[in-house]
């Protein structure tokens, strides 16, 4: 099996979701540390311009967004018990990755949290980071929750979670996909010096966080971005086993020129030829001057597919 490569940076909360999933699944992986801001000259040829973090690479197959990354890793590791609770766990996971994500980002954008988070950055680095995030959002704000009310919302969640944790994990004695989505949001808040005290009253929640952190990040080795690009350029992409275009989802056909982009922020379209469009995956094939022929995969939910290159 081709070793999975994760393109990420340490403070990225969605990256922590995948790093912890590697630890739980026991999948050996390779780590490419990318810059938190653009440019990323060795990654863009692989992703086709997709800018959110993390990105998973398996040979010449590129997976964008943690929803599709989690499904791919679960399939690789025969870890389908992650989805054993079906619709309920997947809905909780999606809620955590969207609504709860917006709350915790707002919480970390309170003035005291920004000071704690950015205290080790130079003024030039801080200005570059702010400029990069403004370009990423392109007029669509990433923070859509009032920072002043985010603390109350989050404390209400902790109180509910404290009362609801009857087993080791959300749905019992084994973790589900919902646990990894909830965990990375809690991890993001707990890692900020200005916010970590919010967890003090909640013993069950702290125990839950400790159990998730105990999975670690598994076994991995560091490689550089140039090596990862070389891996992608020297391999051929593998079509999804169930590749198809479901007629009820769109009027497209296999081979149509399309673009795929997130529907919230970072709406940078990735262009290619349609390979698959079904309930849980969109896959397109593209040819890059540097990376060669690659296949880029997205989840169906949360992304827009449009005609044209």
The mean predicted confidence, pLDDT, of the chain is 92
Read off the pLDDT band of 251 (50, 70, 90). Answer: confident
- Three-state secondary structure call for residue 120: coil
Stretch 255-264: mean pLDDT: 94
Tell whether the model's pLDDT for residue 115 goes beyond 90. no
H runs (alpha helix) in 26-100: 44-47, 66-76, 86-95
Tell whether the model's pLDDT for residue 275 goes beyond 90. yes
- Strand pairing partners for 151? none
Distance of CA 209 to the CA centre of its chain: 19
Beta-carbon contacts of 155 under 8 Å, excluding residues fewer than 6 positions away, are 198
What pLDDT is attached to residue 174?
A: 94
**280-286: Cβ within 8 A, 24+ apart:** 280/68, 280/71, 281/68, 281/71, 281/240, 283/239, 283/240, 283/243, 284/258, 284/260, 285/237, 286/48
What pLDDT is attached to residue 108?
A: 86
Distance of CA 217 to the CA centre of its chain: 15
d(CA 64, CA 241): 18
> What is the number of alpha carbons within 13 Å of residue 95 lying toward its C-beta?
10
pLDDT digits 0-9 by tens, 27-52: 999 999 999 999 999 999 999 999 99
Under 8 Å between Cβ of 178 and 171: yes
Stretch 120-129: mean pLDDT: 67
Tokens 């490689």 sit at which residue? 223
pLDDT digits 0-9 by tens, 208-234: 999 999 999 999 999 999 999 999 999
Tell whether the model's pLDDT for residue 119 goes beyond 80. no
What pLDDT is attached to residue 143?
A: 67
Classify burial at 162, counting beta carbons within 10 Å of its beta carbon; exposed 0-12, middle 13-18, buried 19 or more: middle
d(CA 116, CA 188): 13
pLDDT digits 0-9 by tens, 189-215: 999 988 999 999 999 999 999 999 999
Read off the pLDDT band of 126 (50, 70, 90). Answer: low
Q: What share of the chain is helix, strand, coil (3-state, %, to 5)?
A: 45, 20, 35
Domains of the chain: 84-213 (1.20.1050.10)
What pLDDT is attached to residue 79?
A: 74
Pairing of strands 257-262, 270-278: antiparallel
Range of weakest confidence among 60-74, 94-108, 162-176, 240-254: 240-254
Return phi, psi of residue 210, to 5°: -65, -40
Under 8 Å between Cβ of 299 and 280: yes
d(CA 194, CA 191): 9
pLDDT digits 0-9 by tens, 47-74: 999 999 999 999 999 999 999 999 999 9
């Amino acid at each position: 099996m081709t070793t999975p490569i994760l393109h990420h940076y340490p403070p990225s909360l969605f990256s922590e979701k995948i790093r912890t999933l590697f630890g739980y699944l026991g999948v050996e992986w390779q780590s490419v540390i990318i810059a938190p801001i653009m440019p990323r000259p060795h990654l863009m040829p692989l992703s086709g311009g997709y800018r959110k973090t993390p990105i998973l690479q398996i040979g010449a197959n590129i997976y964008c967004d943690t929803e599709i990354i989690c499904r791919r890793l679960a399939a690789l590791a025969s870890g389908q018990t992650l989805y054993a609770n079906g619709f309920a766990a997947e809905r909780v996971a999606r809620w955590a990755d969207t609504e709860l994500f917006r709350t915790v980002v707002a919480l970390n954008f309170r003035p005291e949290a920004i000071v704690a988070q950015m205290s080790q950055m130079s003024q030039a680095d801080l200005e570059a980071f702010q400029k990069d995030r403004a370009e990423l959002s392109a007029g669509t704000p990433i923070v859509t929750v009032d920072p002043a009310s985010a603390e109350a919302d989050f404390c209400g969640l902790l109180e509910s979670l404290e009362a609801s944790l009857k087993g080791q994990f959300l749905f019992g004695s084994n973790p589900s996909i919902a646990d990894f989505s909830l965990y990375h949001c809690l991890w993001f808040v707990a890692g900020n010096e200005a916010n970590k005290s919010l967890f003090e009253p909640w013993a069950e929640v702290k125990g839950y966080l400790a159990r998730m952190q105990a999975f670690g990040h598994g076994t991995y080795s560091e490689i550089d971005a140039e090596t990862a690009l070389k891996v992608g350029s020297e391999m051929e992409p593998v079509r999804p086993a169930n590749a198809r275009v479901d007629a009820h989802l769109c009027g497209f056909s296999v081979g149509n020129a399309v673009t795929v982009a997130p529907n919230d922020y970072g709406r940078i379209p990735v262009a290619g030829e349609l390979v698959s469009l079904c309930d849980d995956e969109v896959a397109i094939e593209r040819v890059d001057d540097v990376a060669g022929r690659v296949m880029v995969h997205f989840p169906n939910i949360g992304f827009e597919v449009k005609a044209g290159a």
